[in-house]
Each structure stands twice: as C-alpha cells, then as structure tokens.
Structure 1
Amino acid sequence: MRARLVGDGVENPANARALLDTAAMFEVPCLFRDTRGLADRWSVERGGRPLPTVGRGEVPAPVVAVENTPGAGSVFTARPPAGRPSIVVGNERRGIRADLLSAAALSVQIPSPGRGVDTLNVASAAAVALYYLLGATGRRTPRSSRSEAHRPAVLLVGPRDHVEAGSALRSAAAFGWQTVGLDDRDKVWFGTPRTMRAEGRAAARSHRNPLRVVPASGDVHSGYERVVVAGAHVPGPPLHRVDLTGGPRTALVIPDGTVPEGVGVEYARVDVPGSDDRYRLVASIVLAEAARQLGIRPTTRPRRFAYESTLTLVPPDSDLVHPHELLAY
C-alpha cells in the first residue's frame, strides 16, 4: 500500500462515491472523516459498498493536505513524505478542517489560473493529487515563457454521462481554457431534458464558469496540424512524457470509450494501476498535465484576515444606538 486517500468532511454522497472510484483507480484505500453527516445520507444500495470511516483524531500520519492554503506548494513538484501518507481532500465548500491542516506534514495546491472557476471537483482534485504524488516520474520540462501561445485546443469526445462531462468542463475552466469543443455523440450536453441539463450545468459550475462549450465533430483531423489523443485506454507512452502543448493548431483529444484513430495521430496514456476510471478523473489528469507543461504556477492568494489590534470600547459619553431604536425608521 503506497498511500491512502481521506475525504475530510465530504457532504455529498455522489462525491463520496466518486472518491471511492478515485481510490480504486490508483489501488489505494479510501477513508472518510465524517464531520458533516455523510454517513446519515449514505446508502449502500446507491453507493455500492459500505462507507469506510475514520475518527476525528485517527487519520494516520503523515498527512498530505490538498488545499489552496497560504504556503502550500505546487502538487506538480511536491515530494510526499516518507512512509504511507494520508492524502487528504476536504469539504466541497469549506475545505479541510483546521485541526487536520495544522497536523499536515505537507500542504499542496493544484495550480488553477481559471477565471470564475479556480477549483476542481473534490474527486477530480484527488485524482490529480494522487497522479503526481504517487508517480508521473520522468516528466517533461514545463515551458518557461509565453505559455498561453502554446495552449492547445481541447476536444472532449463522447462523454457518456452528463455529470462527468460537466465536471470535466469545470476542470478545463479551472486550468485556464476559455473554449472547449464537445463531441456530444451520446447526447448528454446539448438539447438534453431539463433535469439532465440542470445537473450537468451544476457539475460544470456554469453560474460562475465563463467557459465556452462548442459542438464539435469526432473527426480528429478537422482543421488541426497535430492531434494528441490522451486517455486511460489509449496506447502509447505515458501522458507526462508526451508533449501536450503546441498552440491552437494542436488538438488535445480526450475520449470517453472508443479511441479515435487516424494517420499521424499521437497517443498519450494516463498510466494508472486500477481499471475503474471515471471520465472526469481521466480528463482532469490530462488537463492538469497540459497545464503543467504550459508552465502554470500556483496563484498568489491573500492570507486570511488577521486583526492588528483589539477593539477599543467607546467612551462612556458617546451616543449608542440600540437595535430596538432602529425599528422606528
């Protein structure tokens, strides 16, 4: 066992199931520190397995916190501590609790320069963290300048689930893409029923996501000088050893299922030990590696507000306004 994945305070059972699938993809155990009632909402019938939990003070050390917190290093360059680390991801809105953050031997963040959306779905974040912390050796050197000029076009081909598609689009926006092509051959995104549309857009964080999603053809040679097909069931060298950049004349194709073929097409394999691979997880890893090769770095985030002094009480002769007096206005 190389590591373990821990979800701290995860609330949504769907995200918990996705985290279990993430752990299965990397063949590591998954535990949940349930501080927000996940167990009460968990259904073995829907989840497919019992919910494995760990007590508040029982997360095994050393702890690696995946959190956008001041001082956190880039997951692209971090080295996990020796031993069998607990790689921890946090609550969907509040992140990792302070007690576990303070106990972490290492804190890492996933560089995400996106506008409007700058975080990944919790399972996608876990997949990216596990990919870089547990492997991906022999990585290509990132570009040092003019990264945006080398950003490839992204084409998502045939996603089979609307929520998986939405989460993949959220990742694309978080890693800085402004436009993504979508070959919607299974009709999960365009012209869908209202409920499906609402769920997919919620997964994509469409209310804050400026990403432009355009219908695209599955013809990988359409208008591109170079095509790279990347995925978990793709033949070819490991993902992090293939040049995924090249500018808008290069298409980075991420299929869900059938692998597009063609003369001159290059392939890049997401090399993971397990066979359970959700589309959002694979797509997020591919997009993260493309962003890493572009030279994306952690953003500078403001530190939490700190008081410089205590409050001073008003002098006794000052006029005070009591709440009940405001009711007269």
Structure 2
Amino acid sequence: MSSDNKLLPKRIILVRHGESEGNLDTEAYTTTPDHKIQLTESGLLQAREAGARLRSLLSSNPSSPEWRVCFYVSPYDRTRSTLREIGRSFSRRRVIGVREECRIREQDFGNFQVKERMRATKKVRERFGRFFYRFPEGESAADVFDRVSSFLESLWRDIDMNRLHMNPTHELNFVIVSHGLTSRVFLMKWFKWTVEQFEALNNPGNSEIRVMELGQGGDYSLAIHHTEEELERWGLSPEMIADQKWRVNAHKGEWKEDCKWYFGDFFDHMADSDQESETDATEEDKLNLLTNTEDNNEELCS
C-alpha cells in the first residue's frame, strides 16, 4: 500500500443498532420519543454478537497486529446501548476514540407517532418515493442525505489533519453505529449512487454489519469483505456490483468510464467521437435551415 494511504482507515464499517422496542412493536412510538426507544433483550444480545464479529474481523490479519478502532455513534439511546455492548469485545488500548455524532441520527418521522396515521403516511410515501417524501413535522431521506454529506466532510477533515493522532504503523478502522436508512444514505453518498438506485436498496437487519474496505489502489469497496450474493440481497444491481468489484483494484481518483448511471440516463444518443458529433451537428443545422426556409415560404405565401 502506498505511503499516501497509510493514514486512511483500513475499513469503514456501518453497524445498525440491535432490535429495539419500536422494531418489536410500533405502538412504542406513540408514547415514547423515537430517540428514547430502548433495545430489547434480544437486541442487547445481537449487539454483543456484533461486537464479537467486529473484533474477529479487525484482528484477522496477523500482519497487522497493532490495529486500532475509532467509533462514531448516533445519539439515540438504542445506538448508544448497541455501542456499549459492542465495546465489551474490545480492550481500552484498541479504542482510540468515541464520538457522539448527531448528523448520523435516525430519519425524523415527526414527534409522537399516531399508529394509524403513520401507517397511512407510509403508504403515501411508497407512491411518492422513499427518497424525496418528507414526513409531516419530520424529514425526507433527502434531508438525511444532506446532513450525512456534512458528516462525511468532517470525517475527511479528521483524516486529512490527523486529528485522531494516529500512529501510521497502526491499522485504523472506523465503526459507525447508526440506523438503517442513515446507513443506506451513507453508502449512497459515498459511492455516488442515484436516487433510483437508492430506492431499490433494502434495509440492513438489526446489528447487521456492512464493511467498506480499502483496496490496494486506495479506493474503498464493499466487494472485498462481502460476497456477490450479499450485495444482491442488499438490493445492488448488477452494474452496482460490477462497480464494487472494479473498486477493489482501482486507484484513488480514477473514473470508471463505463459507469452507466452517469451517462446512459442522460446522453443516450451521444456520439463516440468529436468527428461524429460535428457531422451530426452539421446535418442537424442543415435540417433546421431547410425547415426554417419552408416555414418562411409558407408565411410569405399566406
């Protein structure tokens, strides 16, 4: 790995919180504020198991024994409790920092939620579109995208300025303990997925882990740690999976020329060369001139 990549985190890992009282029974939201919803006993166990899986993953490379981890966590009770259980698998020397980060909180669905009204509202969202629909008194996924984008800018500044005071001989890992939609939006922003691609994504399960790992060229990919079957199950299209596989060996800053969602949806008749483009433009000018001449003749004769 190049020296430019030494301070980059080896992995950026997204973890959804464990099963919550709201996941078990949506009635909980009618009497308890969303940020106060607690984990169930099953959710606490899921979080502890997630911690064991994380520890196993981070310590799996014998050539990098001096690995470290930095946690970012949503301020909601269920994410804080998830992190607390995850932390049981780590010693203090392995954790170089923990930051509570409001910008990675759950999508705001409003205040106390009336069950029947929320059910009707979610039906409207399915017709309107999950990304742009804004809940009354709450947020849209597009609003979440904006604050996650701001969080990512801060994350990169922390890396660039080495605010974590990271020893370059240590392998750095970021773990972001957050929520289902927030994690999907994070991936959307990072990999520049479109709104249409976001709409097809499936929510991660409780305490599910999604690993973005740094390739040799300095780009991150989901395809290093996860199988193609997993990516399909998450809702990634064949083109998105191919992009993840390309990123495994891509060099930081490279552009994937055949990335269909950047060109095909907008320029489906684009010429392959400047010469063809100029020829097409000349033919179009001739056609426009002929049409205008005919229109003018009609006006003179009328």
TM norm structure 2:
0.24
Larger Rg: 2
Higher strand content, 1 or 2: 1
